[in-house]
Amino acid sequence: MHMGTNQFSHLALSDDGFLFDASTGHKFNLNAPGTFILKRMIQGLGRDQIITAMAEVYDAPEDLFHRDLSLFCQYLKELDIIQEAQWR
């Protein structure tokens, strides 16, 4: 599923993984893969595009990243950063 960049207009994400949610005031620290994924989500890339990009950067088969992306999206949902209906 593809999401528009306006969905993330309340987020500020630094290159080192510091995430600030202006709508809640919450701050988070993401690891490198989490930062990589969220940056691409903010850019508007879809699930398959992110998985392809991860496979290229981390030099591993795409099928390894499906579960990781799903778990990360679940984490973002639990933090109310993305909506429940997104990224299924």
**Which residues lie below 8 Å from residue 74, measured CB to CB, with a gap of 6+?**
none
Cα-only R_g, the chain: 12
- Report if residue 86 sits inside a domain: no
Determine how many CB atoms are found less than 10 A away from the CB of residue 4: 8
Query: Quick check: is 54 in a domain?
Result: yes
Domain count, the chain: 1
Residue 51's domain comprises: 5-78
pTM of the model: 0.84
Residue by residue, pLDDT tens for the chain (88 residues) are: 344 457 788 899 999 999 999 989 999 999 999 999 999 999 989 999 999 999 999 998 998 899 889 999 999 999 888 875 555 4
List the beta bridge partners of residue 26. Answer: 21
How many Cβ atoms sit within 10 Å of the Cβ of residue 28? 17
